Structure 1
Amino acid sequence: MLTLKDSVIIDQPQDAVFEWFEHFTENYTFWHEDHVIAKWVRGKNFEEGSVLYAEEYLNGKLEKLSFEITRYKKGEFIEYKILFPHSIISPAGAFHVESLGNNRCLFTATLSFRFGWMFLKFAKGRVESLRKHMREEGENLKVLLESKG
């Protein structure tokens, strides 16, 4: 299994990150210029079992994705599984937030892929696009949250 990981230090407390995520569907298009829409199709606000539908562009191609929340602990993490058909390649991802003290935290996004080295070899361009997108999301979240402070 291949796992992409990106982390950024945000000069805001953990609660500020989770406050932003509590308004995820409203904030989604502000998070990244390639984000189109996000809406809850079952449940709400990261309750376990809730399903989020999202559309975003990756490498100029519109991706339509559904995510089921598998674990959630406010102030610490959101874990999800990606639903079919994308789950064939990418089964899960997560957002973790760790306090660094002094009203700072470490935000980490992860995304896992099946077929490890084989996926990396045959989809290198896609992997690089995802890495770039994840990095930009982290940097954008930092700017959005720190500008509020």
Structure 2
Amino acid sequence: MLTLKDSVTINRPPEVIFEWFDHFSENYTYWHKDHVIAKWIRGKNFEKGAILYAEEYLNGKLEKISFEITKIKKGELIEYKTLFPHSIICPYGSFSIEPHNSNGSVFTATLSFRFGWLLSKIAKKRVEAIRTHMREEGGNLKGLLEKSGH
């Protein structure tokens, strides 16, 4: 298993970050220039069992991905599994938020991939594009939340 992880310190409390995720479908396109749409097709706002459909460009290719929320700890953790066909390669991921210093947080995005050693060899550019995208999302989230003062 290959796990990609990106963490960023955001000078906002965990509740503020989680509140941003409560409006995920509205905020999705502001998060990253390559994000196209996100909509809840079952449930809403990261409740367990909810399904989110999202479209984004990755390395110039449009990806259409569905996720099912598998675990939620309000203000701390969102875990999800990707649905077929993406689940064959990338079965799950998460967003975690930990308090940091007096009024900040560490936001961490994680994606896990099957066939990690093989993927690293045959899809090196794709893995690097995903890593870059995750890093950009973290930086963008930091910028959005710190600038807005929410």
User: Aligned residue for 2:62?
Assistant: 62
Structure 2 SS opposite 1:129 = helix
Mapping 1:1-149, distance limit 5 Å: 1-149=1-149
RMSD: 0.5
- Identical-residue share of aligned pairs (%): 70
Structure 1 SS opposite 2:28 = helix
In 1: Cα distance, 2:148 partner to 2:99 partner: 18
Structure 2 SS opposite 1:67 = strand
1:6 is displaced (CA, Å) by 0.2
In 1: Cα distance, 2:134 partner to 2:116 partner: 18
- Report runs of 4+ in structure 1 exceeding 4 Å deviation: none
1:148 is displaced (CA, Å) by 1.4
In 2: Cα distance, 1:89 partner to 1:32 partner: 23
In 2: Cα distance, 1:75 partner to 1:123 partner: 34
1:138 is displaced (CA, Å) by 0.1
TM-score for the superposition, normalised by structure 1: 0.99
In 1: Cα distance, 2:16 partner to 2:40 partner: 21
In 2: Cα distance, 1:115 partner to 1:136 partner: 25
Flag structure 1 segments of 5+ consecutive residues without an equivalent: none
TM-score for the superposition, normalised by structure 2: 0.98
1:47 is displaced (CA, Å) by 0.5
1:112 is displaced (CA, Å) by 0.4
1:116 is displaced (CA, Å) by 1.4
In 2: Cα distance, 1:112 partner to 1:37 partner: 23
Amino acid at match of 1:51: I
In 2: Cα distance, 1:31 partner to 1:18 partner: 14
In 1: Cα distance, 2:80 partner to 2:120 partner: 22
1:101 is displaced (CA, Å) by 2.9
In 1: Cα distance, 2:106 partner to 2:74 partner: 15
